[in-house]
Amino acid sequence: MFKHVLAASIAGFVAFAPVAGEAQQRTLTVYSSLDEDQAKALIKGFEAKHPQIKVNAILGSTAPIIARVIAEAASPQADIIMGNAVSALMAADARGLLLPYKPAQYDKVAPVMRDGRAEPVWVGIDAWASSLCFNTVEAAKKNIPAPKSWADLTNPIYKGQITMPSPLSSGTALLAVNGWLTVFGEKGGWEFMDKLHENVSKYGHSGSAPCRQSASGESIIGISYATPGVKSINEGAPIQIILPSEGLGWEIEAAAIVKGAKNLADAKAMSDWTSSREAAEISAKFLPITAYDDIQSLPKNYPADEKSKLLKMDFGKLAASREAVMAEWQKRYGVKVPPKS
């Protein structure tokens, strides 16, 4: 082990001089919010195709990655964002930080996974949807039934048993909120959230945390998305992933090239790769919904009917109303005093 650490330490010191060494190899800096294993698999596939390019990946959550891109605007460090929520990418695009590019196989990508503009800025990689994580063991202890729909969550029996992320800091929460506004309409959506608010014990910062908390019995129901639930089940958590009957708010994770990319040609190569069928087949090992409609897959323990429950959503409108929704949410629930559980 110590040899390894020593070698790593030396490598760390080499990082003092970022351009030293590896002169024959080009580097490409990729920011990604995809699932870590998925991102690494996609990068591995890319490097296999382009052995002369070394990918330097910075992985992080949706919002911090975009915040970093915005903060670095004066001198962009990233070449390409390989996977981030489209709504967040739009915030960077609104600041003029993204470069339009139409990847080689753009037209083969499922229409819903495309930007749609004449000069597309993003191209979809996969999509993820709202879901509930439900702890069966704790629920049995308290004799609480499993919810079947979003509306069920407003039942007083769930008071203090639900956690969800705050849409002010989590893209996952935002897609749930957008889903509710789509299902129940503008007015009905907020009325639903008013009632839900009575039952929520905690609004956190991380989109995956509610599912983790459900998995460790800290709460019974977590409003989250499927992937953390799948991972927890694989590790042995007594939870069930519930896809509420009204339908699921969802969002696309897409790739976009950063304006001012130092390695533009290679960034374009990466964009071509991520929108290829081959890459979609890799992603399909992690998520059922990818850029290619016809690829059928279902990762282990992943809920089977996610794709069929996706709501029809107007992403353009939702992106435009992003700040207004946040402001309204802050006004209504931002100063919540949590109810005693």
Directed axis angle between helix 322-333 and helix 86-94, to 10°? 110
Least distance between another protein and beta carbon 338 (Å): 5
Cβ proximity to another protein, 87 vs 276, nearer residue: 87
Show the tokens assigned to 73: 């605007």
Cβ proximity to another protein, 40 vs 277, nearer residue: 40
Show the tokens assigned to 28: 């490409």
Show the tokens assigned to 170: 């989590």
Please name the residue ranges forming H helices in 171-314: 171-199, 209-215, 226-235, 264-274, 277-283, 306-309
Cβ proximity to another protein, 215 vs 252, nearer residue: 215
Least distance between another protein and beta carbon 102 (Å): 26
Least distance between another protein and beta carbon 47 (Å): 13
How far apart (Å, rounded) are the C-alpha atoms in residues 309 and 250? 10
Q: How is 187-202 classified by DSSP, letter by letter?
A: HHHHHHHHHHHHHEEE
Cβ proximity to another protein, 257 vs 325, nearer residue: 325
Cβ proximity to another protein, 184 vs 190, nearer residue: 190
Helix (H, G, I), strand (E, B) or coil at 134: strand
Nearest to 85 by CA among 210, 250, 268: 250
Least distance between another protein and beta carbon 104 (Å): 26
How far apart (Å, rounded) are the C-alpha atoms in residues 70 and 74? 9
Cβ proximity to another protein, 113 vs 175, nearer residue: 175
CB–CB of 275/291 below 8 Å? yes
Pairing of strands 162-165, 122-135: unpaired
Least distance between another protein and beta carbon 204 (Å): 8
DSSP state of 114: B
Least distance between another protein and beta carbon 3 (Å): 10
